[in-house]
Structure 1
């Protein structure tokens, strides 16, 4: 009974992925006839569009890219030498995949809105979106089991399961804190400072768990 319940929950989460892919395709198909031939594809750190691309290519590539990423994330566990560990955090991994697809679909929607002429601060939106994503992923981090494709993969976490778990417990806290900092700091009006703050926080999120994993490994 428990196995059946677990399978149903997993299938429900999978339906969320299908829904997100469908939304991505629908947004491109519905907006295509109404958009100009060239639409924004890149913004500088001041949030100003500095590069345009063909709407046919952009609106085709984004849904295809999201679908290919979905396939990659779904089937990569099959080639992982530690694939059995995915079963130990299957629900967490499912939500991890949903969160990645969701942020991409949101960014696609924002890009389409800007293409219609709506004035939006892209830097602020990206930073707030990333902040929310990192808060969510930070809460998932302690549940991730040792694998070669998901998580904080340093030589020291991969060499020792105890180091892996302790590193991910710390990383989860660091990611949540940095995620919460990103959201209010996204309101900084100066584009360059806003961009610099984002980069600094991401560096902290990478370096702290990496250095800690080495420290714990040496300590043991």
Structure 2
């Protein structure tokens, strides 16, 4: 499996460099939380606002990678699965890179300091649904990366059915959320819609793995 931490490091360093260029144009206090109308409500020192996300871009994938490399089952998987796992590990870095440079920095340096909810929602649709869903199609059974429920972890049949189905669900909801993020004005309706389209598929696939499980499929151990 290729090392996804390298990509995370490159993205983190790039974000730090871009943030450094914005240092002089940034006030001493910048927002890190906004209300439903995208107006700032919580302020932090600019070094926190500009460099928190770049640090997380590296730290989160690094922690996930350290967990994954300790799973001997992943080393036995095919090339497509290993590539998909690497893509999923680097996914937080890709998502946070977009949020950092197109939402957080833009808000910190703008006159109004308003949030950019449509760009944020589009980033969720692109990375946390479409890209994640695409890669889940290829992840082979393992106890570390994927849709980890009691039923997928106890049956290879349930694992495969759940991941095949989940890929389509995430991609379809991602496309819907992407369209939604471009068509609906910011506000409470926008916030509720984003939460439903984002978190709804995660909740759905959890219960889906339960409903397709059976005593017969449970006799096929995941790590047999």
C-alpha distance in structure 2 between counterparts of 1:57 and 1:121, whole Å: 17
Give the drift of 1:59.
2.7
Q: Where in structure 2 are there 5+ consecutive unaligned residues?
A: 217-224
Give CA-to-partner distance per residue, 1:82-102, whole Å, 9 cap, x none. 443566522112222333211
Partner of 2:178: 183
Partner of 2:123: 129
Which of 111, 120, 125 matches 2:104? 111
1:25-64 maps to which residues of 2 (within 5 A)? 25-64=16-55
Change (3 A) 1:149 1:191: farther
| Number of positions where the alignment pairs a residue of Structure 1 with one of Structure 2 | 211
1:193-212 maps to which residues of 2 (within 5 A)? 193-212=189-208
Give the drift of 1:16.
3.4
1:93-172 maps to which residues of 2 (within 5 A)? 93-109=85-101, 110-117=103-110, 122-133=116-127, 134-172=129-167
SS in 2 for 1:39: strand
SS in 2 for 1:32: coil
C-alpha distance in structure 1 between counterparts of 2:36 and 2:77, whole Å: 38
SS in 2 for 1:75: helix
1:84 aligns with 2:78: no
More helix by share: 1
Change (3 A) 1:198 1:37: same
Give the drift of 1:64.
2.1
Give the drift of 1:147.
2.6
What CA RMSD, in Å, does the superposition of the two structures yield over aligned residues?
2.3
Change (3 A) 1:146 1:153: same
TM-score of the pair, normalised by structure 1: 0.85
**For the Cα contact (< 8 Å) 1:81–1:148, is it kept in 2?**
no
Q: Where in structure 1 are there 5+ consecutive unaligned residues?
A: 1-6
**For the Cα contact (< 8 Å) 1:45–1:123, is it kept in 2?**
no
SS in 2 for 1:94: helix
